[in-house]
A and B are shown apart, each in its own frame.
Chain A
């Protein structure tokens, strides 16, 4: 795993530790785990970050342990997860630093 760089645009490994260079005084990290309604982590789910108007902002694929992570800005966001087990939405009001959010998917 290498830290994501300006040259790249692909979603980085969602299970990797935060890059050491990351300044949590400045970054707004929205992170968490996607679970099924039975409480099991869902790997390979597509998690979409939608802005306050519902417009798409970014998308990542969850790690084997169901983890996802976004670098956003303070404000209101919606997380929407798509998976073979169903879909789910969670609203989040994010502040600078790390914001932990759980998303549940159900068919």
Chain B
């Protein structure tokens, strides 16, 4: 994968709003943003209600994903262009999700909603409906998804990349600072994880930095290219953003997103936790 296949610019998007076979999808946790104005023709996916099982803490399964995409009018041959708020966190999560279920052509809109708004590009409130399809998903590709046992086993052996803010990494904050801090889990990070905040990969307007800049950021942080990598954050959406950078833009192999992330790891009984700004010992 590379920037040319995984990413589209706002200019490209604006020229291809009506292109046949291209479906724009806004992904947010709070879809009120979509309702106040969205890219013309874009449908919405709600990160919480559409992409999460409503009982267990897990993804929607293959048949639920097929039903969702069929109902929203996305077909297997469509080029899906994802964008959203929060610097594309949830759009990147959805991108990873579409890849997990084997969608062939999926792209992220560089800069997402933020750049689009700051550029004063047009947003509309029109209701969008697409004719239903018969979407067929692949079996989940677990080569890009990490589970907890594998994460514990990775301590001191694989690259663990903590993409939360430095204060969350060190244990001084338990959640991103737009949320209240009282949480059930312990503070800190997985021992031996390097701290590479997701935000280092993005410009202020939400677009991704250049490939050269991105390569330098991970090299300076001590990422070992010869090892497998697991990225995590708090609930797996910011780490989808970093997973996208490593695997889809920079073309690394064997990068997994640990969607259980800190809300799972920090609640596990008996696992080691490191505090402070250093990775810590295995």
Contacts and interface: CB of A to CB of B under 8 A. Distances in A.
B237 interface: yes
B167 A73 contact: yes
Interface string A55-91: 1111111000000011111000000101110000000
B48 A8 contact: yes
Interface string B184-203: 10000000000001011000
Nearest to A8: B29
A7 B177 contact: no
B235 interface: yes
Given A8-B29, A10-B85, A55 B179 contact: no
B204 to A, nearest CB: 6
Given A23-B182, A51-B165, A53-B166, A72 B235 contact: no
A42 interface: no
Contacts of B30: 10-13
Contacts of B200: 56
Contacts of A69: 178
B240 to A, nearest CB: 11
Contact of A71 (B85, B166, B175): B175
A55 B183 contact: no
A49 interface: yes
Interface residues of B, number: 41
Interface residues of A, number: 38
A44 interface: yes
A76 B6 CA distance: 38
The secondary-structure label for the interface of chain A is loop
A51 B165 CA distance: 9
Nearest to A23: B182
Nearest to B176: A58
Contacts of B238: 9
Contacts of B159: none
Interface string A23-66: 10011000000000000000010101101010111111100000
A46 B114 contact: yes
A22 B30 CA distance: 21
B167 A57 contact: yes
B173 interface: yes
A80 B48 CA distance: 29
Interface in B234-280: 234-235, 237-238, 263
Contacts of B179: 4, 8-9, 12, 71
Given A59-B86, A73-B172, A82-B118, A9 B235 contact: yes
Contacts of A51: 165-167
B25 to A, nearest CB: 16
B165 A6 contact: no
A79 to B, nearest CB: 11
B115 to A, nearest CB: 10
Nearest to B177: A58
A34 to B, nearest CB: 14
B90 interface: yes
10 contacts: A9-B234, A9-B238, A10-B47, A11-B86, A27-B182, A51-B166, A57-B177, A58-B178, A70-B178, A72-B177
**Which 6 residue pairs across A and B have the least CB separation, nearest first?**
A10-B29, A56-B199, A58-B177, A58-B178, A57-B165, A70-B177
Given A55-B166, A56-B200, A72-B177, 20 more contacts: A6-B183, A7-B235, A11-B30, A11-B86, A11-B178, A13-B30, A26-B181, A55-B165, A55-B199, A57-B166, A57-B173, A58-B165, A58-B178, A59-B86, A59-B87, A60-B178, A71-B180, A73-B167, A82-B114, A83-B118
